[in-house]
Amino acid sequence: VAEAGGMMMMEDGIDMETIFGDGDNSQKGFLGKLVGAGKRVLTGESLFMTVFTNKGVGKKRVSFAAPYPGKIIPVDLSEMGGKVICQK
């Protein structure tokens, strides 16, 4: 599951479907979806998400890119207490 517009590349055999919400089935009913949408709007996230499903045989790849430039840096989680929190 990814925000709309985040995909760069996908291999053959991957199906793509745009949905309203984040695909979380725990928010049942219209009211639950409306509350979830309100939270996404407040945090600047998209109302629509894209679900990628592998319908092919074997492993397939989908690549995503950030909407702004950045760096990939190695982080040893054992030196950071087992977790790291990141934001834009």
Rounded Cα gap, residues 50 and 5, in angstroms = 8
Q: What is the pTM of this model?
A: 0.58
List all residues 6 or more positions away from 51 whose beta carbon is below 8 Å from its beta carbon. 1, 16, 17, 18, 19, 23
More confident residue, 16 or 71: 16
Do 18 and 48 contact (CB within 8 A), yes or no?
A: yes
Domain boundaries, given as residue ranges, for the chain: 2-80
Closest CA to 64 of 79, 85, 50: 50
- Quick: pLDDT tens for 53-88: 999 899 999 988 877 777 778 889 999 898 888 776
Coil vs helix vs strand at 76: coil
